[in-house]
Amino acid sequence: MRSTAGVYERPSRRGNCERDRLATRYDEVVTPEFDVVVIGCGPAGNTVAYRLASAGVRVLMLDKEALPRHKVCGGGLSEKALREAPFSLSPVLDYRVGAALVAYDGAHPVRCERSGIGAMAQRAVLDGFMAQKAVAAGAVLHERESLESFEPRNGLLEVRTSRGAFTARVLVGADGVYSRVRKQLLPRATPRLVPAIEARLWPAPDMLDLVGDSCIFDLGVIPAGYGWVFPKRDHLNIGLYRFFKRTDNLDMRGLLEAFVARYRVLRGYERIAVKALLVPVAPVARRLASHGVVLVGDAAGLADPMFGEGIYSAIRSGNLAADAIVSTLQGKGALSSYDRRMRGLRFDLAAARLAAALFYSSPRLGFRFGVRTRLVSKLFMGMISGTVSPARGLIGTVGLTPYWLLARPSPAVASPIFD
Protein backbone atom coordinates (compact mmCIF):
# COMPACT_ATOMS: atom_id res chain seq x y z
CA MET A 1 0.00 0.00 0.00
CA ARG A 2 1.91 3.08 -1.20
CA SER A 3 0.96 6.40 0.29
CA THR A 4 -0.13 8.99 -2.24
CA ALA A 5 1.17 12.01 -0.32
CA GLY A 6 4.46 13.74 -1.16
CA VAL A 7 7.89 12.62 -0.12
CA TYR A 8 10.28 14.19 2.33
CA GLU A 9 11.02 17.87 1.93
CA ARG A 10 14.11 19.51 3.41
CA PRO A 11 13.43 21.87 6.31
CA SER A 12 13.79 25.61 5.81
CA ARG A 13 17.26 27.12 6.35
CA ARG A 14 15.58 30.07 8.04
CA GLY A 15 14.57 27.89 11.00
CA ASN A 16 16.20 27.91 14.40
CA CYS A 17 19.56 26.30 15.24
CA GLU A 18 17.96 22.92 15.85
CA ARG A 19 16.41 22.99 12.39
CA ASP A 20 19.77 23.95 10.85
CA ARG A 21 21.45 21.11 12.65
CA LEU A 22 18.82 18.66 11.38
CA ALA A 23 18.98 20.13 7.88
CA THR A 24 22.71 19.45 7.76
CA ARG A 25 22.05 15.91 8.86
CA TYR A 26 19.28 15.49 6.27
CA ASP A 27 21.77 16.47 3.55
CA GLU A 28 23.80 13.43 4.51
CA VAL A 29 20.96 10.95 5.00
CA VAL A 30 18.79 9.51 2.30
CA THR A 31 15.45 9.86 4.06
CA PRO A 32 13.12 6.95 3.37
CA GLU A 33 9.39 7.40 3.37
CA PHE A 34 6.99 5.15 5.26
CA ASP A 35 3.23 5.05 5.51
CA VAL A 36 3.45 4.52 9.26
CA VAL A 37 6.19 4.88 11.85
CA VAL A 38 5.62 2.91 15.06
CA ILE A 39 7.56 3.97 18.16
CA GLY A 40 8.16 1.11 20.61
CA CYS A 41 8.41 -2.66 20.23
CA GLY A 42 6.32 -3.83 23.17
CA PRO A 43 3.12 -5.86 22.63
CA ALA A 44 1.23 -2.73 21.44
CA GLY A 45 3.76 -1.56 18.84
CA ASN A 46 4.52 -5.08 17.63
CA THR A 47 0.81 -5.80 17.13
CA VAL A 48 0.22 -2.61 15.11
CA ALA A 49 3.36 -3.18 13.03
CA TYR A 50 2.53 -6.83 12.33
CA ARG A 51 -1.07 -6.10 11.37
CA LEU A 52 -0.13 -3.16 9.13
CA ALA A 53 2.77 -4.93 7.42
CA SER A 54 0.52 -7.94 6.81
CA ALA A 55 -1.93 -5.59 5.07
CA GLY A 56 0.81 -4.29 2.75
CA VAL A 57 1.42 -1.00 4.60
CA ARG A 58 5.00 0.24 4.64
CA VAL A 59 5.94 0.33 8.32
CA LEU A 60 9.02 1.40 10.20
CA MET A 61 9.26 0.29 13.83
CA LEU A 62 11.75 1.89 16.21
CA ASP A 63 12.87 0.91 19.66
CA LYS A 64 15.39 2.75 21.79
CA GLU A 65 16.65 -0.60 23.10
CA ALA A 66 18.28 -3.53 21.32
CA LEU A 67 15.89 -6.51 21.21
CA PRO A 68 15.44 -8.76 23.06
CA ARG A 69 15.35 -6.55 26.16
CA HIS A 70 13.82 -7.13 29.57
CA LYS A 71 10.70 -5.11 30.38
CA VAL A 72 9.65 -4.70 34.00
CA CYS A 73 6.57 -6.92 33.99
CA GLY A 74 5.18 -10.12 35.51
CA GLY A 75 4.80 -11.62 32.05
CA GLY A 76 1.40 -13.04 32.99
CA LEU A 77 -0.81 -13.46 29.92
CA SER A 78 -4.52 -13.79 30.50
CA GLU A 79 -6.54 -16.08 28.26
CA LYS A 80 -8.10 -13.03 26.60
CA ALA A 81 -4.62 -11.65 25.80
CA LEU A 82 -3.71 -14.97 24.17
CA ARG A 83 -6.92 -14.84 22.14
CA GLU A 84 -6.41 -11.22 21.11
CA ALA A 85 -2.85 -11.74 19.84
CA PRO A 86 -2.72 -11.58 16.03
CA PHE A 87 -0.79 -14.89 15.89
CA SER A 88 -0.21 -17.81 18.23
CA LEU A 89 2.07 -17.01 21.16
CA SER A 90 2.49 -20.72 22.01
CA PRO A 91 6.14 -20.90 20.83
CA VAL A 92 7.21 -18.47 23.59
CA LEU A 93 5.06 -19.58 26.53
CA ASP A 94 6.90 -20.99 29.55
CA TYR A 95 3.75 -22.45 31.13
CA ARG A 96 0.01 -22.73 30.76
CA VAL A 97 -1.23 -21.84 34.25
CA GLY A 98 -2.66 -24.94 35.94
CA ALA A 99 -4.16 -23.33 39.04
CA ALA A 100 -4.25 -20.06 40.93
CA LEU A 101 -3.68 -20.06 44.67
CA VAL A 102 -5.09 -16.97 46.34
CA ALA A 103 -3.90 -16.31 49.90
CA TYR A 104 -3.99 -13.59 52.53
CA ASP A 105 -0.59 -12.72 53.99
CA GLY A 106 0.81 -16.14 53.24
CA ALA A 107 -2.10 -17.99 54.89
CA HIS A 108 -5.55 -19.50 54.15
CA PRO A 109 -4.73 -20.36 50.51
CA VAL A 110 -7.74 -21.00 48.32
CA ARG A 111 -7.19 -23.06 45.19
CA CYS A 112 -8.99 -21.81 42.10
CA GLU A 113 -8.70 -24.40 39.40
CA ARG A 114 -10.13 -23.87 35.97
CA SER A 115 -8.94 -24.51 32.49
CA GLY A 116 -7.80 -21.50 30.55
CA ILE A 117 -6.63 -19.07 33.26
CA GLY A 118 -3.77 -17.88 31.11
CA ALA A 119 -0.08 -18.46 30.52
CA MET A 120 3.37 -17.31 31.55
CA ALA A 121 6.00 -15.76 29.29
CA GLN A 122 9.22 -13.83 29.72
CA ARG A 123 8.91 -10.36 28.27
CA ALA A 124 12.29 -10.31 26.56
CA VAL A 125 11.37 -13.48 24.70
CA LEU A 126 7.75 -12.50 24.04
CA ASP A 127 8.51 -9.02 22.71
CA GLY A 128 11.45 -10.26 20.63
CA PHE A 129 9.23 -12.95 19.09
CA MET A 130 6.44 -10.50 18.30
CA ALA A 131 8.89 -8.05 16.69
CA GLN A 132 10.32 -10.87 14.56
CA LYS A 133 6.81 -11.70 13.38
CA ALA A 134 6.28 -8.07 12.35
CA VAL A 135 9.60 -8.05 10.46
CA ALA A 136 8.73 -11.34 8.75
CA ALA A 137 5.45 -9.72 7.66
CA GLY A 138 7.43 -6.89 6.03
CA ALA A 139 8.00 -4.21 8.70
CA VAL A 140 11.39 -2.49 8.87
CA LEU A 141 12.91 -2.56 12.36
CA HIS A 142 15.44 -0.06 13.70
CA GLU A 143 16.82 -0.94 17.13
CA ARG A 144 18.73 1.40 19.46
CA GLU A 145 17.02 4.36 17.82
CA SER A 146 14.82 6.66 19.89
CA LEU A 147 12.17 9.11 18.91
CA GLU A 148 13.14 12.71 19.58
CA SER A 149 10.22 14.69 18.18
CA PHE A 150 7.73 14.94 15.34
CA GLU A 151 6.00 17.73 13.49
CA PRO A 152 3.52 18.13 10.66
CA ARG A 153 4.96 19.04 7.26
CA ASN A 154 3.06 19.24 3.99
CA GLY A 155 0.30 16.92 5.13
CA LEU A 156 2.80 14.38 6.42
CA LEU A 157 4.57 13.93 9.73
CA GLU A 158 8.27 14.42 9.99
CA VAL A 159 9.60 12.05 12.63
CA ARG A 160 13.02 12.88 14.08
CA THR A 161 15.02 10.23 15.80
CA SER A 162 18.43 9.83 17.40
CA ARG A 163 19.74 8.67 14.01
CA GLY A 164 17.87 10.58 11.35
CA ALA A 165 14.46 11.70 10.15
CA PHE A 166 11.60 10.01 8.32
CA THR A 167 8.36 11.12 6.81
CA ALA A 168 5.17 9.19 7.41
CA ARG A 169 1.46 9.64 7.08
CA VAL A 170 0.74 8.25 10.53
CA LEU A 171 2.78 8.02 13.72
CA VAL A 172 1.92 5.41 16.35
CA GLY A 173 2.96 6.10 19.95
CA ALA A 174 3.52 2.65 21.48
CA ASP A 175 6.40 3.86 23.61
CA GLY A 176 5.16 2.83 27.00
CA VAL A 177 4.33 4.55 30.27
CA TYR A 178 6.74 7.49 29.82
CA SER A 179 5.72 7.95 26.17
CA ARG A 180 7.50 10.78 24.43
CA VAL A 181 4.85 10.73 21.70
CA ARG A 182 2.14 11.34 24.32
CA LYS A 183 4.13 14.13 25.98
CA GLN A 184 4.38 15.97 22.68
CA LEU A 185 0.85 15.25 21.45
CA LEU A 186 -0.90 15.91 24.78
CA PRO A 187 1.48 18.04 26.86
CA ARG A 188 -1.17 18.75 29.48
CA ALA A 189 -2.34 15.18 29.98
CA THR A 190 -1.56 13.80 33.43
CA PRO A 191 -1.63 9.99 33.35
CA ARG A 192 -2.99 8.24 36.41
CA LEU A 193 -0.02 6.17 37.57
CA VAL A 194 0.09 3.55 40.30
CA PRO A 195 3.20 1.79 41.61
CA ALA A 196 4.36 -1.75 40.97
CA ILE A 197 7.59 -3.57 41.71
CA GLU A 198 8.91 -6.74 40.12
CA ALA A 199 11.71 -9.15 40.89
CA ARG A 200 13.14 -12.05 38.97
CA LEU A 201 14.08 -14.50 41.69
CA TRP A 202 16.13 -17.66 41.19
CA PRO A 203 14.96 -19.72 44.17
CA ALA A 204 16.69 -22.28 46.34
CA PRO A 205 16.93 -25.79 44.80
CA ASP A 206 13.64 -27.74 44.45
CA MET A 207 11.47 -24.67 45.08
CA LEU A 208 10.61 -24.24 41.39
CA ASP A 209 9.20 -27.78 41.35
CA LEU A 210 7.13 -26.98 44.40
CA VAL A 211 5.46 -24.06 42.63
CA GLY A 212 5.03 -26.05 39.40
CA ASP A 213 2.51 -24.47 37.03
CA SER A 214 0.57 -22.65 39.79
CA CYS A 215 0.53 -18.92 40.17
CA ILE A 216 0.06 -17.33 43.56
CA PHE A 217 -1.83 -14.13 44.38
CA ASP A 218 -1.62 -12.71 47.90
CA LEU A 219 -3.99 -9.95 48.98
CA GLY A 220 -2.45 -9.31 52.40
CA VAL A 221 1.17 -8.38 51.61
CA ILE A 222 0.59 -4.78 50.53
CA PRO A 223 -2.13 -2.28 51.44
CA ALA A 224 -4.68 -1.77 48.62
CA GLY A 225 -3.00 -4.19 46.28
CA TYR A 226 -1.70 -7.69 45.84
CA GLY A 227 1.48 -9.68 45.51
CA TRP A 228 2.14 -12.34 42.86
CA VAL A 229 4.41 -15.31 42.29
CA PHE A 230 4.53 -16.36 38.64
CA PRO A 231 6.51 -19.45 37.58
CA LYS A 232 8.96 -19.12 34.67
CA ARG A 233 11.09 -21.77 33.05
CA ASP A 234 14.18 -21.22 35.24
CA HIS A 235 13.07 -18.66 37.84
CA LEU A 236 10.08 -17.06 39.57
CA ASN A 237 8.74 -13.64 38.74
CA ILE A 238 7.37 -12.02 41.88
CA GLY A 239 6.03 -8.57 42.58
CA LEU A 240 3.61 -6.17 44.16
CA TYR A 241 0.89 -4.09 42.55
CA ARG A 242 -0.87 -1.26 44.34
CA PHE A 243 -4.06 0.45 43.22
CA PHE A 244 -3.19 3.74 44.82
CA LYS A 245 -1.39 6.87 43.73
CA ARG A 246 2.25 7.12 44.78
CA THR A 247 1.71 10.12 47.06
CA ASP A 248 2.32 8.30 50.32
CA ASN A 249 5.75 7.00 49.19
CA LEU A 250 5.10 3.52 50.52
CA ASP A 251 8.32 1.53 50.82
CA MET A 252 7.66 -0.94 48.00
CA ARG A 253 11.11 -2.51 48.26
CA GLY A 254 10.70 -3.11 52.00
CA LEU A 255 7.29 -4.70 51.40
CA LEU A 256 8.79 -6.91 48.69
CA GLU A 257 11.47 -8.09 51.13
CA ALA A 258 8.74 -8.92 53.68
CA PHE A 259 6.83 -10.79 50.96
CA VAL A 260 9.91 -12.88 50.17
CA ALA A 261 10.42 -13.62 53.86
CA ARG A 262 6.76 -14.73 54.17
CA TYR A 263 7.00 -17.57 51.61
CA ARG A 264 9.16 -20.64 51.97
CA VAL A 265 9.46 -20.99 48.17
CA LEU A 266 11.03 -17.51 48.04
CA ARG A 267 13.23 -17.49 51.16
CA GLY A 268 16.88 -18.48 50.76
CA TYR A 269 16.91 -17.58 47.08
CA GLU A 270 20.10 -17.81 45.03
CA ARG A 271 19.78 -14.57 43.07
CA ILE A 272 17.32 -11.71 42.76
CA ALA A 273 16.96 -8.75 40.36
CA VAL A 274 14.48 -6.08 41.53
CA LYS A 275 12.99 -3.26 39.45
CA ALA A 276 10.07 -0.90 39.98
CA LEU A 277 7.92 0.89 37.43
CA LEU A 278 4.61 2.71 37.25
CA VAL A 279 1.43 1.36 35.70
CA PRO A 280 -0.92 3.79 33.87
CA VAL A 281 -4.48 2.88 34.86
CA ALA A 282 -6.70 5.42 33.09
CA PRO A 283 -6.87 6.52 29.44
CA VAL A 284 -4.82 9.72 29.13
CA ALA A 285 -7.40 11.62 27.05
CA ARG A 286 -10.82 11.37 25.47
CA ARG A 287 -9.24 11.46 22.01
CA LEU A 288 -6.33 9.10 21.56
CA ALA A 289 -6.00 9.73 17.81
CA SER A 290 -5.45 13.21 16.41
CA HIS A 291 -3.16 15.12 14.03
CA GLY A 292 -2.05 11.89 12.36
CA VAL A 293 -0.88 10.40 15.67
CA VAL A 294 -2.38 7.39 17.48
CA LEU A 295 -1.60 6.34 21.05
CA VAL A 296 -1.80 2.66 22.03
CA GLY A 297 -1.03 0.50 25.08
CA ASP A 298 0.66 2.10 28.09
CA ALA A 299 1.35 5.27 26.10
CA ALA A 300 -2.43 5.76 26.06
CA GLY A 301 -2.80 4.75 29.74
CA LEU A 302 -4.70 1.53 29.10
CA ALA A 303 -3.57 -0.93 31.81
CA ASP A 304 -6.34 -2.66 33.76
CA PRO A 305 -6.73 -1.04 37.21
CA MET A 306 -7.90 -4.22 38.97
CA PHE A 307 -4.83 -6.37 38.29
CA GLY A 308 -2.37 -3.99 36.58
CA GLU A 309 -2.60 -6.20 33.51
CA GLY A 310 -1.53 -4.21 30.46
CA ILE A 311 -0.58 -6.73 27.78
CA TYR A 312 -4.18 -7.46 26.78
CA SER A 313 -5.04 -3.77 26.35
CA ALA A 314 -1.77 -3.19 24.51
CA ILE A 315 -2.61 -5.91 21.97
CA ARG A 316 -6.29 -4.96 21.79
CA SER A 317 -5.58 -1.26 21.21
CA GLY A 318 -2.86 -2.25 18.71
CA ASN A 319 -5.41 -4.25 16.73
CA LEU A 320 -7.97 -1.44 16.83
CA ALA A 321 -5.35 1.13 15.79
CA ALA A 322 -4.28 -1.09 12.86
CA ASP A 323 -7.93 -1.36 11.69
CA ALA A 324 -8.36 2.42 11.86
CA ILE A 325 -5.05 3.12 10.08
CA VAL A 326 -5.71 0.66 7.25
CA SER A 327 -9.13 2.15 6.57
CA THR A 328 -7.63 5.68 6.69
CA LEU A 329 -4.85 4.79 4.25
CA GLN A 330 -7.43 3.21 1.94
CA GLY A 331 -9.41 6.46 2.07
CA LYS A 332 -12.36 4.68 3.69
CA GLY A 333 -12.41 6.51 7.00
CA ALA A 334 -10.71 8.96 9.32
CA LEU A 335 -8.05 8.13 11.89
CA SER A 336 -10.46 9.33 14.55
CA SER A 337 -12.44 6.11 13.98
CA TYR A 338 -9.86 4.64 16.39
CA ASP A 339 -11.58 6.49 19.25
CA ARG A 340 -14.94 5.02 18.25
CA ARG A 341 -13.48 1.53 18.04
CA MET A 342 -11.98 1.98 21.52
CA ARG A 343 -15.32 2.56 23.27
CA GLY A 344 -15.76 -1.05 24.39
CA LEU A 345 -12.27 -1.25 25.90
CA ARG A 346 -12.71 2.12 27.60
CA PHE A 347 -15.99 0.95 29.12
CA ASP A 348 -14.33 -2.21 30.46
CA LEU A 349 -11.48 -0.17 31.95
CA ALA A 350 -13.93 2.25 33.62
CA ALA A 351 -15.84 -0.71 35.15
CA ALA A 352 -12.53 -2.23 36.28
CA ARG A 353 -11.58 1.07 37.95
CA LEU A 354 -14.81 1.02 39.92
CA ALA A 355 -14.33 -2.65 40.83
CA ALA A 356 -10.75 -1.92 41.93
CA ALA A 357 -11.81 1.10 44.05
CA LEU A 358 -14.35 -1.09 45.87
CA PHE A 359 -12.21 -4.21 46.17
CA TYR A 360 -9.02 -2.49 47.32
CA SER A 361 -10.86 -0.37 49.91
CA SER A 362 -10.59 -3.55 52.00
CA PRO A 363 -8.73 -6.49 50.44
CA ARG A 364 -9.26 -8.36 53.73
CA LEU A 365 -13.05 -8.28 53.29
CA GLY A 366 -12.61 -8.92 49.56
CA PHE A 367 -10.65 -12.05 50.45
CA ARG A 368 -13.09 -13.27 53.12
CA PHE A 369 -16.34 -12.57 51.27
CA GLY A 370 -15.10 -12.70 47.69
CA VAL A 371 -12.20 -15.06 47.14
CA ARG A 372 -13.27 -17.55 49.81
CA THR A 373 -16.85 -17.68 48.56
CA ARG A 374 -17.16 -20.17 45.73
CA LEU A 375 -19.48 -18.28 43.36
CA VAL A 376 -17.74 -14.95 43.80
CA SER A 377 -14.30 -16.52 43.39
CA LYS A 378 -15.54 -17.99 40.10
CA LEU A 379 -16.36 -14.46 38.95
CA PHE A 380 -12.95 -13.29 40.20
CA MET A 381 -11.14 -16.00 38.23
CA GLY A 382 -13.28 -15.22 35.20
CA MET A 383 -12.12 -11.60 35.45
CA ILE A 384 -8.48 -12.73 35.64
CA SER A 385 -8.81 -15.01 32.62
CA GLY A 386 -10.99 -12.54 30.74
CA THR A 387 -14.09 -14.67 30.31
CA VAL A 388 -16.00 -12.35 32.67
CA SER A 389 -15.97 -8.65 31.78
CA PRO A 390 -15.23 -6.20 34.62
CA ALA A 391 -18.80 -4.84 34.40
CA ARG A 392 -20.29 -8.34 34.68
CA GLY A 393 -17.93 -9.15 37.55
CA LEU A 394 -18.96 -6.00 39.37
CA ILE A 395 -22.70 -6.42 38.81
CA GLY A 396 -22.51 -10.14 39.63
CA THR A 397 -20.66 -9.48 42.89
CA VAL A 398 -23.13 -6.81 43.99
CA GLY A 399 -26.08 -9.01 42.95
CA LEU A 400 -24.69 -11.90 44.99
CA THR A 401 -24.44 -9.80 48.19
CA PRO A 402 -26.91 -11.87 50.30
CA TYR A 403 -25.14 -15.03 49.17
CA TRP A 404 -21.58 -13.96 49.96
CA LEU A 405 -22.59 -12.41 53.27
CA LEU A 406 -24.12 -15.70 54.43
CA ALA A 407 -22.12 -18.37 52.59
CA ARG A 408 -19.65 -20.52 54.46
CA PRO A 409 -16.10 -19.62 53.37
CA SER A 410 -14.21 -22.23 51.33
CA PRO A 411 -11.67 -24.07 53.49
CA ALA A 412 -7.98 -23.35 53.06
CA VAL A 413 -6.13 -25.99 51.05
CA ALA A 414 -3.03 -27.75 52.27
CA SER A 415 -0.11 -26.88 50.04
CA PRO A 416 3.65 -27.30 50.57
CA ILE A 417 4.11 -23.80 49.15
CA PHE A 418 2.75 -22.31 52.38
CA ASP A 419 4.19 -22.52 55.90
Ligand X SMILES: Cc1cc2nc3c(=O)[nH]c(=O)nc-3n(C[C@H](O)[C@H](O)[C@H](O)COP(=O)(O)OP(=O)(O)OC[C@H]3O[C@@H](n4cnc5c(N)ncnc54)[C@H](O)[C@@H]3O)c2cc1C
Our CB check for ligand X shows the closer of 60 and 326 to be 60
* Cis peptide, bond prior to residue 68, ω within 30 of zero: yes
Closest to 1 measured CA to CA, from 231, 327, 236: 327
Q: Is residue 44 close enough to count as binding ligand X by CB under 6 A? A: yes
Does 72 interact with ligand X (rule: CB under 6 A)? yes
Residue 116 main-chain phi, psi, to 5 deg = 75, 45
314 Ramachandran zone, left/alpha/beta (phi>0; psi -120 to 50): alpha
Does residue number 309 form part of the binding site for ligand X (CB under 6 A)? yes
Indicate which single residue of 203, 231, 297, 301 sits in contact with ligand X (rule: CB under 6 A).
297
| Cβ burial, residue 419 (10 Å; 0-12/13-18/19+) | exposed
Q: Which of 51, 58, 64, 235 binds ligand X (CB under 6 A)?
A: 64
> Using the rule CB under 6 A, is 303 a contact of ligand X?
yes
Q: Which of residues 129-148 bind ligand X (CB under 6 A)?
A: 146-147
User: DSSP string spanning 293-325?
Assistant: EEE-GGGGT---TTT---HHHHHHHHHHHHHHH
Nearer to ligand X, 203 or 280 (CB): 280
In this structure, are residues 266 and 218 in contact, taking their beta carbons and an 8 Å threshold?
no
186 binds ligand X (CB under 6 A): no
Residue number with CB closer to ligand X (111 or 183): 183
- Is 366 a binding residue for ligand X by CB under 6 A? The answer is no
Provide the minimum distance between the beta carbon of 12 and ligand X in the complex, in angstroms, as a whole number.
Answer: 25
Q: Which range, of 13-21, 254-262, 308-316, 405-413, touches ligand X by CB under 6 A?
A: 308-316
Dihedral of alpha carbons 376, 382, 388, 394, sign: positive
Residue 278 zone, left/alpha/beta (φ > 0; ψ -120 to 50; rest) = beta
CA distances from 373 to 91, 393, 402, 409 (A): 36, 14, 12, 5
Please report how close the Cβ of residue 288 comes to ligand X at its closest, in angstroms.
12
Comparison of 139 and 372: residue with beta carbon closer to ligand X:
139
- Work out whether 40 is an interface residue with ligand X (CB under 6 A): yes
Contacts of ligand X in 79-118 (CB under 6 A):
none
Which of the stretches 26-34, 295-303, 361-369, 391-399 binds ligand X when contact is defined by CB under 6 A? 295-303
Instruction: Please identify which residue in 38, 222, 311, 394 interacts with ligand X, judged by CB under 6 A.
Output: 311
Residue 231, interface with ligand X (CB under 6 A)? no
Residue 390's CB is within 10 A of a number of other CB atoms, namely 22
User: Which CA distances in Å does 314 have to 82, 262, 303, 350?
Assistant: 12, 33, 8, 16
Decide: is 74 part of the binding site for ligand X (CB under 6 A): yes
> What does the binding site for ligand X look like in residue numbers (CB under 6 A)?
39-45, 62-65, 71-76, 146-147, 174-176, 180, 196-198, 239, 277, 279, 297-299, 303, 308-312, 314
